[in-house]
Chains A and B, each alone.
Chain A
Amino acid sequence: MFQATGLTKWFGQVIAVNDLTFESRAGIVGLLGPNGAGKSTLIKLLCGQLRPSKGEVKVDGQPPWGNRRLLSSLGYCPEHDRFYEDLTPLHFVSLLTRLHGYPADQADEMARKALELVELSARLESPIRTLSHGMRQKLKVAQALSHDPGWLVLDEPLSGMDPVSRARMIRLFRDKAGEGTAVLVSSHVLHELEAMTEDILLINRGRLLAQGQVGAIRELIDAHPHRIALRADRLRDLGRELLKHDDVVRVEVSGERIIVETRSPDACYTRIGELAAGGDFQVQSMLSLDDNLEAVFRYLVK
Protein backbone atom coordinates (compact mmCIF):
# COMPACT_ATOMS: atom_id res chain seq x y z
CA MET A 1 0.00 0.00 0.00
CA PHE A 2 2.59 2.59 1.17
CA GLN A 3 6.07 1.99 -0.16
CA ALA A 4 9.37 3.87 -0.02
CA THR A 5 12.72 3.03 -1.54
CA GLY A 6 15.79 5.02 -0.52
CA LEU A 7 13.46 7.92 0.19
CA THR A 8 15.36 11.07 1.10
CA LYS A 9 14.27 14.67 1.56
CA TRP A 10 16.55 17.62 2.16
CA PHE A 11 15.53 21.15 3.07
CA GLY A 12 18.69 23.06 2.18
CA GLN A 13 21.36 21.75 4.53
CA VAL A 14 18.87 19.89 6.71
CA ILE A 15 18.04 16.30 5.97
CA ALA A 16 14.52 15.55 7.15
CA VAL A 17 14.07 12.04 5.79
CA ASN A 18 17.17 9.97 5.24
CA ASP A 19 17.26 6.94 2.96
CA LEU A 20 14.01 5.36 4.14
CA THR A 21 13.03 2.02 2.70
CA PHE A 22 9.87 0.30 3.82
CA GLU A 23 6.71 -1.31 2.58
CA SER A 24 3.52 -1.34 4.58
CA ARG A 25 0.73 -3.88 4.42
CA ALA A 26 -3.01 -3.33 4.36
CA GLY A 27 -4.73 -2.26 7.56
CA ILE A 28 -3.39 0.30 10.01
CA VAL A 29 0.28 1.19 10.11
CA GLY A 30 1.54 3.30 12.98
CA LEU A 31 4.28 5.82 12.28
CA LEU A 32 6.07 6.35 15.56
CA GLY A 33 8.85 8.69 16.47
CA PRO A 34 9.67 11.57 18.75
CA ASN A 35 8.95 15.18 17.76
CA GLY A 36 11.22 16.23 14.91
CA ALA A 37 11.82 12.66 13.81
CA GLY A 38 10.62 13.36 10.27
CA LYS A 39 7.12 11.92 10.55
CA SER A 40 5.33 14.92 9.07
CA THR A 41 7.84 15.19 6.22
CA LEU A 42 7.37 11.52 5.41
CA ILE A 43 3.60 12.01 5.47
CA LYS A 44 3.84 14.99 3.13
CA LEU A 45 5.95 12.91 0.79
CA LEU A 46 3.31 10.17 0.89
CA CYS A 47 0.56 12.71 0.19
CA GLY A 48 2.34 14.25 -2.79
CA GLN A 49 2.88 17.56 -1.02
CA LEU A 50 6.65 17.28 -1.26
CA ARG A 51 8.82 15.84 -3.97
CA PRO A 52 11.52 13.41 -2.84
CA SER A 53 15.06 14.76 -3.13
CA LYS A 54 16.20 11.20 -3.80
CA GLY A 55 14.64 7.76 -3.95
CA GLU A 56 10.98 7.11 -4.52
CA VAL A 57 7.73 6.85 -2.68
CA LYS A 58 4.62 5.06 -3.89
CA VAL A 59 1.05 4.76 -2.74
CA ASP A 60 -0.75 1.79 -4.23
CA GLY A 61 2.09 1.44 -6.71
CA GLN A 62 1.94 5.03 -7.95
CA PRO A 63 4.12 8.03 -7.08
CA PRO A 64 1.92 10.62 -5.36
CA TRP A 65 3.82 13.74 -6.49
CA GLY A 66 1.64 15.60 -8.99
CA ASN A 67 -0.66 12.58 -9.26
CA ARG A 68 -4.13 14.07 -8.97
CA ARG A 69 -5.84 10.80 -9.80
CA LEU A 70 -4.21 9.27 -6.74
CA LEU A 71 -5.10 12.28 -4.62
CA SER A 72 -8.78 11.65 -5.43
CA SER A 73 -8.67 8.58 -3.24
CA LEU A 74 -6.41 9.94 -0.54
CA GLY A 75 -7.68 11.29 2.77
CA TYR A 76 -5.16 13.49 4.55
CA CYS A 77 -5.44 14.83 8.06
CA PRO A 78 -2.68 17.41 8.61
CA GLU A 79 -0.97 17.90 11.93
CA HIS A 80 -1.84 21.57 12.39
CA ASP A 81 -5.14 23.38 12.11
CA ARG A 82 -5.65 24.38 8.52
CA PHE A 83 -8.96 26.10 8.73
CA TYR A 84 -10.88 29.15 7.66
CA GLU A 85 -12.12 30.31 11.03
CA ASP A 86 -15.34 31.90 9.75
CA LEU A 87 -16.57 28.81 7.94
CA THR A 88 -18.84 26.29 9.60
CA PRO A 89 -17.69 22.67 9.83
CA LEU A 90 -20.39 21.67 7.35
CA HIS A 91 -19.34 24.30 4.80
CA PHE A 92 -15.65 23.53 5.27
CA VAL A 93 -15.96 19.78 4.82
CA SER A 94 -18.50 20.19 2.03
CA LEU A 95 -16.21 22.62 0.17
CA LEU A 96 -13.28 20.23 0.35
CA THR A 97 -15.48 17.33 -0.73
CA ARG A 98 -16.69 19.32 -3.72
CA LEU A 99 -13.07 19.69 -4.81
CA HIS A 100 -13.21 15.97 -5.52
CA GLY A 101 -15.89 16.67 -8.11
CA TYR A 102 -19.02 15.83 -6.16
CA PRO A 103 -22.12 17.94 -6.81
CA ALA A 104 -22.99 20.41 -4.04
CA ASP A 105 -25.95 18.48 -2.56
CA GLN A 106 -24.02 15.20 -2.58
CA ALA A 107 -20.97 16.88 -1.03
CA ASP A 108 -23.22 18.28 1.70
CA GLU A 109 -24.59 14.84 2.42
CA MET A 110 -21.12 13.30 2.52
CA ALA A 111 -19.88 16.08 4.78
CA ARG A 112 -22.80 15.53 7.17
CA LYS A 113 -22.05 11.83 7.26
CA ALA A 114 -18.35 12.40 7.98
CA LEU A 115 -19.13 14.93 10.69
CA GLU A 116 -21.59 12.51 12.21
CA LEU A 117 -18.90 9.81 12.24
CA VAL A 118 -16.62 12.04 14.29
CA GLU A 119 -19.55 13.15 16.47
CA LEU A 120 -19.64 16.76 15.38
CA SER A 121 -23.24 16.72 14.20
CA ALA A 122 -24.28 19.10 16.97
CA ARG A 123 -21.85 21.77 15.73
CA LEU A 124 -22.51 21.64 12.00
CA GLU A 125 -23.36 25.31 11.74
CA SER A 126 -21.07 26.79 14.41
CA PRO A 127 -18.16 28.86 13.12
CA ILE A 128 -14.93 26.89 13.33
CA ARG A 129 -13.38 29.57 15.56
CA THR A 130 -15.81 28.54 18.32
CA LEU A 131 -14.71 24.90 18.33
CA SER A 132 -12.48 23.49 21.05
CA HIS A 133 -9.11 21.97 20.19
CA GLY A 134 -10.51 18.46 20.39
CA MET A 135 -13.40 19.38 18.09
CA ARG A 136 -11.01 20.89 15.58
CA GLN A 137 -9.08 17.64 15.60
CA LYS A 138 -12.30 15.79 14.85
CA LEU A 139 -13.04 18.24 12.06
CA LYS A 140 -9.65 17.51 10.50
CA VAL A 141 -10.44 13.82 10.61
CA ALA A 142 -13.91 14.45 9.12
CA GLN A 143 -12.49 16.32 6.12
CA ALA A 144 -10.09 13.45 5.52
CA LEU A 145 -12.92 10.90 5.62
CA SER A 146 -15.68 12.74 3.79
CA HIS A 147 -14.92 11.54 0.26
CA ASP A 148 -14.60 7.84 1.20
CA PRO A 149 -10.85 7.62 0.55
CA GLY A 150 -9.07 4.39 -0.19
CA TRP A 151 -5.95 5.60 1.66
CA LEU A 152 -6.04 7.54 4.85
CA VAL A 153 -2.98 9.39 6.13
CA LEU A 154 -3.44 10.90 9.57
CA ASP A 155 -0.79 13.12 11.14
CA GLU A 156 -1.14 13.10 14.93
CA PRO A 157 -4.95 12.85 14.72
CA LEU A 158 -5.53 12.18 18.41
CA SER A 159 -3.53 15.10 19.74
CA GLY A 160 -5.64 17.25 22.06
CA MET A 161 -8.60 14.88 22.25
CA ASP A 162 -10.14 13.77 25.51
CA PRO A 163 -9.84 10.06 26.43
CA VAL A 164 -13.42 9.21 25.41
CA SER A 165 -13.00 10.86 22.01
CA ARG A 166 -9.64 9.13 21.57
CA ALA A 167 -11.22 5.76 22.18
CA ARG A 168 -13.99 6.52 19.67
CA MET A 169 -11.54 7.76 17.07
CA ILE A 170 -9.39 4.68 17.48
CA ARG A 171 -12.48 2.53 16.97
CA LEU A 172 -13.36 4.60 13.89
CA PHE A 173 -9.90 4.12 12.36
CA ARG A 174 -10.04 0.41 13.05
CA ASP A 175 -13.48 0.23 11.44
CA LYS A 176 -12.16 2.05 8.37
CA ALA A 177 -9.23 -0.34 8.14
CA GLY A 178 -11.68 -3.21 8.52
CA GLU A 179 -13.62 -1.85 5.53
CA GLY A 180 -10.47 -2.05 3.42
CA THR A 181 -9.05 1.45 3.79
CA ALA A 182 -5.28 1.55 4.17
CA VAL A 183 -4.56 3.76 7.17
CA LEU A 184 -1.25 5.33 8.16
CA VAL A 185 -1.35 7.10 11.52
CA SER A 186 1.50 9.05 13.00
CA SER A 187 2.01 9.71 16.67
CA HIS A 188 4.77 10.29 19.13
CA VAL A 189 2.84 8.38 21.78
CA LEU A 190 3.35 4.65 21.58
CA HIS A 191 0.34 3.55 23.59
CA GLU A 192 -1.95 5.50 21.24
CA LEU A 193 -0.63 3.52 18.32
CA GLU A 194 -0.61 0.25 20.21
CA ALA A 195 -4.35 0.68 20.74
CA MET A 196 -4.81 0.85 16.98
CA THR A 197 -2.25 -1.49 15.52
CA GLU A 198 0.62 -3.81 16.21
CA ASP A 199 2.28 -2.85 12.96
CA ILE A 200 4.57 0.14 13.35
CA LEU A 201 7.28 2.05 11.58
CA LEU A 202 9.73 3.58 14.00
CA ILE A 203 11.66 6.60 12.77
CA ASN A 204 14.08 8.94 14.41
CA ARG A 205 16.18 11.76 12.95
CA GLY A 206 14.76 10.96 9.56
CA ARG A 207 15.92 7.37 9.54
CA LEU A 208 13.97 4.19 9.85
CA LEU A 209 14.90 2.53 13.11
CA ALA A 210 12.59 -0.43 13.11
CA GLN A 211 9.56 -1.84 11.37
CA GLY A 212 7.20 -4.60 12.34
CA GLN A 213 5.15 -5.74 15.30
CA VAL A 214 5.57 -3.69 18.44
CA GLY A 215 6.34 -6.75 20.57
CA ALA A 216 9.00 -7.99 18.21
CA ILE A 217 10.63 -4.56 18.07
CA ARG A 218 10.76 -4.41 21.85
CA GLU A 219 12.54 -7.78 21.89
CA LEU A 220 15.00 -6.66 19.21
CA ILE A 221 15.82 -3.50 21.10
CA ASP A 222 16.30 -5.45 24.31
CA ALA A 223 18.71 -7.75 22.47
CA HIS A 224 20.55 -4.92 20.76
CA PRO A 225 23.76 -3.97 22.63
CA HIS A 226 23.97 -0.32 23.55
CA ARG A 227 27.36 1.39 23.27
CA ILE A 228 28.74 3.80 25.84
CA ALA A 229 32.04 5.65 25.44
CA LEU A 230 33.91 6.43 28.67
CA ARG A 231 36.91 8.61 29.46
CA ALA A 232 38.45 7.73 32.81
CA ASP A 233 41.70 6.87 34.55
CA ARG A 234 42.76 3.20 34.69
CA LEU A 235 40.75 2.34 31.58
CA ARG A 236 41.69 -1.33 31.55
CA ASP A 237 40.77 -1.83 35.22
CA LEU A 238 37.45 -0.12 34.60
CA GLY A 239 36.83 -2.36 31.61
CA ARG A 240 37.63 -5.46 33.66
CA GLU A 241 35.27 -4.28 36.42
CA LEU A 242 32.41 -3.72 33.99
CA LEU A 243 32.93 -7.05 32.25
CA LYS A 244 32.08 -8.84 35.50
CA HIS A 245 28.41 -8.10 34.85
CA ASP A 246 26.31 -10.25 32.54
CA ASP A 247 24.69 -7.39 30.59
CA VAL A 248 28.10 -6.12 29.39
CA VAL A 249 28.89 -8.05 26.25
CA ARG A 250 32.07 -6.33 25.09
CA VAL A 251 34.63 -3.75 26.14
CA GLU A 252 37.05 -2.17 23.71
CA VAL A 253 39.90 0.18 24.58
CA SER A 254 40.19 2.82 21.89
CA GLY A 255 42.85 5.46 22.46
CA GLU A 256 42.03 7.40 25.60
CA ARG A 257 38.57 5.94 26.03
CA ILE A 258 36.84 2.62 26.32
CA ILE A 259 33.68 1.60 24.52
CA VAL A 260 31.33 -0.58 26.52
CA GLU A 261 28.57 -2.59 24.86
CA THR A 262 25.70 -3.46 27.16
CA ARG A 263 22.23 -4.99 26.82
CA SER A 264 21.00 -3.09 29.84
CA PRO A 265 21.99 0.54 29.39
CA ASP A 266 20.08 1.87 32.41
CA ALA A 267 21.74 -0.64 34.76
CA CYS A 268 25.14 0.02 33.22
CA TYR A 269 24.79 3.82 33.55
CA THR A 270 23.83 3.35 37.20
CA ARG A 271 26.79 1.05 37.81
CA ILE A 272 29.27 3.46 36.21
CA GLY A 273 27.83 6.24 38.33
CA GLU A 274 28.28 4.16 41.49
CA LEU A 275 31.87 3.30 40.57
CA ALA A 276 32.65 6.97 40.04
CA ALA A 277 30.85 8.05 43.21
CA GLY A 278 32.66 5.37 45.24
CA GLY A 279 36.00 6.87 44.25
CA ASP A 280 37.24 3.67 42.58
CA PHE A 281 37.63 5.40 39.22
CA GLN A 282 37.74 8.98 38.03
CA VAL A 283 35.24 9.08 35.18
CA GLN A 284 35.80 12.23 33.11
CA SER A 285 33.07 11.76 30.53
CA MET A 286 30.36 9.32 29.57
CA LEU A 287 28.74 9.43 26.15
CA SER A 288 26.06 7.31 24.52
CA LEU A 289 27.10 6.32 21.01
CA ASP A 290 23.60 5.05 20.22
CA ASP A 291 21.60 8.17 20.84
CA ASN A 292 18.96 7.22 18.33
CA LEU A 293 18.45 3.83 19.77
CA GLU A 294 18.58 5.13 23.28
CA ALA A 295 15.84 7.65 22.53
CA VAL A 296 13.69 4.95 21.05
CA PHE A 297 14.54 2.58 23.81
CA ARG A 298 13.49 5.05 26.47
CA TYR A 299 10.46 5.71 24.38
CA LEU A 300 9.38 2.15 24.20
CA VAL A 301 10.08 1.20 27.78
CA LYS A 302 8.76 4.27 29.56
Chain B
Amino acid sequence: MSHDDARIYDQSYRPFAGDLASPRSRFLIIAANELRQAWKSKWFKRIAWFSFGPLIVFAVLVVVAARFAALGGQMEDVWMPFWGIQMFFAMLMVFFIGRGAVGEDLRTGALTVYFSRPVSFMQYLAGKWLAVAVGVLGVTLVPGVVLAIFRWLAEPDTGLLDFLLWLGSLLLISGLAALCMGWVILAVSALSGRARAAGIVWVVLFFVSFGIGEGLAEATGIYELNALGFGQASEQLARGLLGGGGTLGEVFWFSLGQLGWALLGLVVVLFKLRRWMRV
Protein backbone atom coordinates (compact mmCIF):
# COMPACT_ATOMS: atom_id res chain seq x y z
CA MET B 1 0.00 0.00 0.00
CA SER B 2 1.46 3.38 -0.95
CA HIS B 3 1.41 6.52 1.20
CA ASP B 4 -1.10 8.01 -1.23
CA ASP B 5 -3.73 5.54 0.01
CA ALA B 6 -3.30 6.50 3.66
CA ARG B 7 -5.39 9.18 5.39
CA ILE B 8 -5.31 10.72 8.84
CA TYR B 9 -8.64 12.32 9.56
CA ASP B 10 -9.12 15.36 11.78
CA GLN B 11 -11.18 14.19 14.76
CA SER B 12 -10.92 17.44 16.66
CA TYR B 13 -13.84 19.74 17.44
CA ARG B 14 -15.24 21.67 14.52
CA PRO B 15 -17.40 24.75 14.98
CA PHE B 16 -21.07 24.29 14.09
CA ALA B 17 -21.78 25.41 10.55
CA GLY B 18 -25.46 24.43 10.32
CA ASP B 19 -28.62 26.47 10.79
CA LEU B 20 -29.62 27.60 14.25
CA ALA B 21 -33.19 27.03 15.41
CA SER B 22 -35.50 30.01 15.16
CA PRO B 23 -35.39 32.22 18.24
CA ARG B 24 -39.17 32.01 18.35
CA SER B 25 -39.15 28.28 19.05
CA ARG B 26 -36.81 28.38 22.04
CA PHE B 27 -39.70 28.22 24.51
CA LEU B 28 -40.08 24.61 23.37
CA ILE B 29 -36.64 23.82 24.80
CA ILE B 30 -37.68 25.26 28.16
CA ALA B 31 -40.95 23.32 28.11
CA ALA B 32 -39.22 20.08 27.12
CA ASN B 33 -36.72 20.51 29.92
CA GLU B 34 -39.48 20.99 32.49
CA LEU B 35 -41.25 17.85 31.30
CA ARG B 36 -38.01 15.92 31.26
CA GLN B 37 -37.34 16.92 34.85
CA ALA B 38 -40.84 15.88 35.93
CA TRP B 39 -40.50 12.58 34.07
CA LYS B 40 -37.55 11.67 36.32
CA SER B 41 -39.99 11.23 39.19
CA LYS B 42 -41.27 7.67 39.41
CA TRP B 43 -44.51 8.99 40.92
CA PHE B 44 -45.03 11.26 37.95
CA LYS B 45 -44.65 8.28 35.60
CA ARG B 46 -47.03 6.17 37.69
CA ILE B 47 -49.66 8.91 37.74
CA ALA B 48 -49.27 9.43 34.00
CA TRP B 49 -49.98 5.75 33.39
CA PHE B 50 -52.71 5.51 36.04
CA SER B 51 -54.50 8.47 34.48
CA PHE B 52 -55.47 6.19 31.61
CA GLY B 53 -57.07 3.69 34.01
CA PRO B 54 -60.41 5.51 34.18
CA LEU B 55 -60.49 5.51 30.39
CA ILE B 56 -60.62 1.69 30.39
CA VAL B 57 -63.32 1.65 33.07
CA PHE B 58 -65.43 4.27 31.32
CA ALA B 59 -64.95 2.58 27.94
CA VAL B 60 -66.43 -0.57 29.45
CA LEU B 61 -69.25 1.51 30.92
CA VAL B 62 -69.92 3.04 27.51
CA VAL B 63 -70.31 -0.45 26.01
CA VAL B 64 -72.52 -1.53 28.90
CA ALA B 65 -74.59 1.64 28.57
CA ALA B 66 -74.98 1.09 24.82
CA ARG B 67 -76.20 -2.48 25.39
CA PHE B 68 -78.46 -1.30 28.22
CA ALA B 69 -79.89 1.42 25.99
CA ALA B 70 -80.55 -1.13 23.28
CA LEU B 71 -82.65 -3.02 25.85
CA GLY B 72 -84.61 0.15 26.56
CA GLY B 73 -82.78 1.26 29.71
CA GLN B 74 -80.98 4.55 30.38
CA MET B 75 -77.72 5.26 32.23
CA GLU B 76 -76.46 8.55 33.49
CA ASP B 77 -74.04 10.30 31.18
CA VAL B 78 -70.40 9.26 31.68
CA TRP B 79 -68.72 12.55 30.84
CA MET B 80 -69.03 14.39 34.15
CA PRO B 81 -67.72 11.62 36.45
CA PHE B 82 -65.02 10.83 33.90
CA TRP B 83 -63.95 14.47 33.75
CA GLY B 84 -64.01 14.79 37.55
CA ILE B 85 -61.54 11.93 37.86
CA GLN B 86 -59.32 13.26 35.07
CA MET B 87 -59.23 16.67 36.74
CA PHE B 88 -57.87 14.99 39.84
CA PHE B 89 -55.10 13.45 37.73
CA ALA B 90 -54.52 16.82 36.09
CA MET B 91 -54.07 18.35 39.52
CA LEU B 92 -51.42 15.73 40.32
CA MET B 93 -49.63 16.22 37.00
CA VAL B 94 -49.55 19.96 37.57
CA PHE B 95 -48.19 19.31 41.06
CA PHE B 96 -45.20 17.48 39.60
CA ILE B 97 -44.50 19.69 36.61
CA GLY B 98 -45.25 23.15 37.87
CA ARG B 99 -44.48 23.33 41.59
CA GLY B 100 -40.86 24.36 41.10
CA ALA B 101 -41.23 25.92 37.67
CA VAL B 102 -40.79 29.59 38.50
CA GLY B 103 -40.12 29.55 42.23
CA GLU B 104 -36.94 27.51 42.01
CA ASP B 105 -35.64 29.81 39.29
CA LEU B 106 -36.36 32.81 41.47
CA ARG B 107 -34.87 31.21 44.57
CA THR B 108 -31.66 30.01 42.99
CA GLY B 109 -31.30 32.99 40.68
CA ALA B 110 -31.40 30.75 37.60
CA LEU B 111 -33.17 33.56 35.79
CA THR B 112 -29.83 35.32 35.59
CA VAL B 113 -28.47 32.40 33.58
CA TYR B 114 -31.62 32.05 31.45
CA PHE B 115 -31.64 35.70 30.50
CA SER B 116 -27.95 35.82 29.70
CA ARG B 117 -29.05 33.71 26.69
CA PRO B 118 -30.98 34.96 23.70
CA VAL B 119 -34.28 34.07 25.34
CA SER B 120 -37.02 36.62 25.89
CA PHE B 121 -39.17 36.93 28.97
CA MET B 122 -42.24 35.86 27.01
CA GLN B 123 -40.46 32.79 25.65
CA TYR B 124 -39.46 31.86 29.17
CA LEU B 125 -43.02 32.21 30.46
CA ALA B 126 -44.48 30.43 27.44
CA GLY B 127 -42.09 27.53 27.96
CA LYS B 128 -42.95 27.18 31.63
CA TRP B 129 -46.68 27.38 30.96
CA LEU B 130 -46.55 25.01 28.01
CA ALA B 131 -44.92 22.28 30.10
CA VAL B 132 -47.81 22.41 32.59
CA ALA B 133 -50.37 22.64 29.80
CA VAL B 134 -48.96 19.52 28.12
CA GLY B 135 -49.34 17.68 31.42
CA VAL B 136 -52.96 18.82 31.80
CA LEU B 137 -53.89 18.09 28.20
CA GLY B 138 -52.17 14.72 28.40
CA VAL B 139 -54.52 13.51 31.11
CA THR B 140 -57.68 15.31 30.01
CA LEU B 141 -57.80 15.91 26.26
CA VAL B 142 -56.02 12.72 25.17
CA PRO B 143 -58.11 10.21 27.16
CA GLY B 144 -61.18 12.38 26.51
CA VAL B 145 -60.71 12.11 22.75
CA VAL B 146 -60.09 8.35 22.99
CA LEU B 147 -63.28 7.96 25.03
CA ALA B 148 -65.20 10.08 22.52
CA ILE B 149 -64.00 7.87 19.65
CA PHE B 150 -64.87 4.76 21.60
CA ARG B 151 -68.33 6.09 22.42
CA TRP B 152 -68.95 7.13 18.85
CA LEU B 153 -68.11 3.63 17.67
CA ALA B 154 -70.09 1.92 20.46
CA GLU B 155 -73.29 3.94 20.20
CA PRO B 156 -75.06 3.47 16.90
CA ASP B 157 -77.27 6.54 17.54
CA THR B 158 -74.32 8.93 17.81
CA GLY B 159 -73.68 10.71 14.55
CA LEU B 160 -70.58 12.37 13.17
CA LEU B 161 -71.87 15.81 14.17
CA ASP B 162 -72.25 14.71 17.79
CA PHE B 163 -68.74 13.34 17.69
CA LEU B 164 -67.32 16.57 16.28
CA LEU B 165 -69.20 18.57 18.92
CA TRP B 166 -67.65 16.39 21.59
CA LEU B 167 -64.20 17.01 20.14
CA GLY B 168 -64.77 20.77 20.07
CA SER B 169 -66.09 20.73 23.63
CA LEU B 170 -63.19 18.60 24.81
CA LEU B 171 -60.76 21.05 23.25
CA LEU B 172 -62.45 24.00 24.92
CA ILE B 173 -62.77 22.41 28.37
CA SER B 174 -59.28 20.96 28.48
CA GLY B 175 -57.80 24.13 26.97
CA LEU B 176 -59.46 26.24 29.67
CA ALA B 177 -58.28 23.81 32.34
CA ALA B 178 -54.70 24.01 31.01
CA LEU B 179 -54.87 27.77 30.89
CA CYS B 180 -56.24 28.07 34.39
CA MET B 181 -54.16 25.38 36.11
CA GLY B 182 -51.01 26.42 34.28
CA TRP B 183 -51.08 30.04 35.39
CA VAL B 184 -52.29 29.25 38.89
CA ILE B 185 -49.46 26.79 39.58
CA LEU B 186 -46.89 29.20 38.11
CA ALA B 187 -48.24 31.90 40.43
CA VAL B 188 -48.18 29.58 43.43
CA SER B 189 -44.65 28.54 42.52
CA ALA B 190 -43.51 32.15 42.13
CA LEU B 191 -45.03 33.10 45.48
CA SER B 192 -43.83 30.07 47.42
CA GLY B 193 -40.24 29.94 46.23
CA ARG B 194 -39.56 26.35 47.21
CA ALA B 195 -41.02 23.52 45.19
CA ARG B 196 -42.20 21.54 48.18
CA ALA B 197 -44.09 24.49 49.68
CA ALA B 198 -45.58 25.35 46.30
CA GLY B 199 -46.76 21.75 45.88
CA ILE B 200 -48.54 21.77 49.23
CA VAL B 201 -50.14 25.17 48.58
CA TRP B 202 -51.27 23.99 45.15
CA VAL B 203 -53.04 20.88 46.49
CA VAL B 204 -54.63 22.85 49.34
CA LEU B 205 -55.76 25.58 46.93
CA PHE B 206 -57.28 23.02 44.57
CA PHE B 207 -59.41 21.44 47.27
CA VAL B 208 -60.15 24.61 49.23
CA SER B 209 -61.35 26.46 46.12
CA PHE B 210 -63.43 23.40 45.31
CA GLY B 211 -64.94 23.41 48.82
CA ILE B 212 -65.56 27.14 48.91
CA GLY B 213 -67.20 27.14 45.48
CA GLU B 214 -69.45 24.21 46.31
CA GLY B 215 -70.22 25.47 49.83
CA LEU B 216 -71.16 28.94 48.63
CA ALA B 217 -73.24 27.52 45.80
CA GLU B 218 -75.18 25.36 48.23
CA ALA B 219 -75.54 28.08 50.86
CA THR B 220 -76.76 30.74 48.43
CA GLY B 221 -78.51 28.54 45.92
CA ILE B 222 -76.48 30.22 43.17
CA TYR B 223 -75.22 27.27 41.21
CA GLU B 224 -72.73 29.36 39.21
CA LEU B 225 -70.66 29.97 42.36
CA ASN B 226 -69.19 26.54 41.74
CA ALA B 227 -67.03 28.42 39.25
CA LEU B 228 -64.90 29.57 42.21
CA GLY B 229 -63.32 26.13 42.37
CA PHE B 230 -61.20 25.69 39.26
CA GLY B 231 -61.46 21.89 39.31
CA GLN B 232 -65.17 22.12 39.94
CA ALA B 233 -65.62 24.70 37.19
CA SER B 234 -64.04 22.40 34.66
CA GLU B 235 -66.17 19.50 35.81
CA GLN B 236 -69.33 21.58 35.50
CA LEU B 237 -68.24 22.69 32.05
CA ALA B 238 -67.93 19.04 31.06
CA ARG B 239 -71.43 18.44 32.37
CA GLY B 240 -72.72 21.46 30.47
CA LEU B 241 -70.99 20.93 27.16
CA LEU B 242 -70.45 17.18 26.91
CA GLY B 243 -73.29 15.83 28.99
CA GLY B 244 -75.77 18.30 27.56
CA GLY B 245 -77.00 19.16 31.05
CA GLY B 246 -76.07 22.81 31.30
CA THR B 247 -77.40 26.12 30.07
CA LEU B 248 -75.44 28.58 27.97
CA GLY B 249 -75.32 30.91 30.99
CA GLU B 250 -73.73 28.22 33.14
CA VAL B 251 -71.19 27.47 30.45
CA PHE B 252 -70.39 31.18 30.34
CA TRP B 253 -69.92 31.49 34.10
CA PHE B 254 -67.83 28.35 34.42
CA SER B 255 -65.63 29.46 31.52
CA LEU B 256 -65.34 32.88 33.10
CA GLY B 257 -64.37 31.29 36.43
CA GLN B 258 -61.51 29.46 34.78
CA LEU B 259 -60.39 32.52 32.83
CA GLY B 260 -60.53 34.57 36.04
CA TRP B 261 -58.22 32.12 37.81
CA ALA B 262 -55.87 32.12 34.81
CA LEU B 263 -55.78 35.91 34.75
CA LEU B 264 -55.15 36.11 38.48
CA GLY B 265 -52.28 33.63 38.12
CA LEU B 266 -50.80 35.53 35.20
CA VAL B 267 -50.93 38.84 37.07
CA VAL B 268 -49.18 37.31 40.10
CA VAL B 269 -46.46 35.75 37.90
CA LEU B 270 -45.89 39.02 36.07
CA PHE B 271 -45.72 40.90 39.35
CA LYS B 272 -43.19 38.49 40.85
CA LEU B 273 -41.06 38.56 37.72
CA ARG B 274 -41.53 42.25 36.96
CA ARG B 275 -37.78 42.89 37.18
CA TRP B 276 -37.24 40.58 34.23
CA MET B 277 -40.17 41.68 32.10
CA ARG B 278 -38.15 44.04 29.93
CA VAL B 279 -35.27 41.64 29.38
Which A positions have Cβ atoms within 8 angstroms of B?
44, 47-49, 51, 65-66, 68-69, 71-72, 74, 76, 78, 80-84, 86-87, 95-96, 98-103, 106, 109-110, 113, 143, 148
Considering the chains assembled together, what is the distance between the CA atoms of A109 and B33 in angstroms? 18
B20, CB-defined interface residue at 8 Å? yes
Can you list 10 contacts pairing A with B, beta carbon distance less than 8 Å?
Answer: A44-B112, A48-B116, A49-B115, A68-B23, A68-B119, A76-B113, A83-B110, A101-B21, A102-B16, A106-B16
Of the candidates A68, A69, A95, the one whose C-beta lies within 8 Å of that of B29 is A95
B46 contacts partner chain A, Cβ-Cβ < 8 Å = no
B contact residues around A102 at 8 Å (CB): 16, 20-21
Which residue, B20, B33, B113, has most C-beta atoms of chain A within 10 A? B113
**CB-contact partner of A86 in B16, B40, B114, under 8 A:** B40
CB-CB < 8 A to B22: which residues of A? 101
Asked if B247 lies at the interface with its beta carbon under 8 angstroms from chain A, I say no
Measured CA separation A251–B83 after assembly (Å): 88
By beta carbon, the residue of chain A nearest B118 is A68
When the two chains form their complex, are residues B112 and A84 in contact, meaning their CB atoms are under 8 A apart? no
Q: A68-B118, A95-B29 are in contact. Are A82 and B278 (CB under 8 A)?
A: no
A269 CB → nearest B CB, Å: 41
Q: Are B114 and A99 in contact (CB under 8 A)?
A: yes
Indicate if the CB atoms of A81 and B108 lie closer than 8 Å: yes
B264 neighbours in A (Cβ, 8 Å): none
Interface Cβ pair total, 8 Å cutoff: 81
Candidates A71, A82, A103, A106; contact of B118 at CB < 8 Å = A71
Besides A99-B29, A101-B118, 11 more A-B contacts (Cβ < 8 Å) are A68-B119, A72-B118, A76-B116, A83-B110, A84-B110, A95-B29, A95-B33, A98-B21, A99-B26, A101-B20, A113-B13
Closest 4 A/B residue pairs (Cβ): A101-B20, A76-B116, A68-B118, A99-B117
B18 interface contact, C-beta 8 A: yes
| Contact flags B110-148 to A (C-beta < 8 A → 1, else 0) | 101111111110000000000000000000000000000
Judging by beta carbons under 8 Å apart, are B112 and A110 in contact? Answer: no
The answer to whether A48 and B279 touch across the interface, beta carbons within 8 angstroms, is yes
Q: Which residue of A lies closest to B115 (CB)?
A: A49
- A92's closest neighbor in chain B, by CB? B113
Is the Cβ of B113 less than 8 Å from the Cβ of A82? yes
B15 at the interface (CB under 8 A from A): yes
Nearest CB in chain B to that of A99: its residue? B117
User: What is the chain B residue whose CB lies nearest that of A116?
Assistant: B13
- Give Cα A82 to B21, complex, Å: 25
Contacts of B104 in A (CB 8 A): 84
> Distance (Å) between the CB of A54 and the closest chain B CB?
16
* Residue ID in chain B nearest A51 by CB atoms: B278
Q: Which residues of A contact B37 (CB under 8 A)?
A: 84, 86-87
Chain B window 33-58, contacts with chain A (Cβ cutoff 8 Å), 1 for yes, 0 for no: 10001001000000000000000000
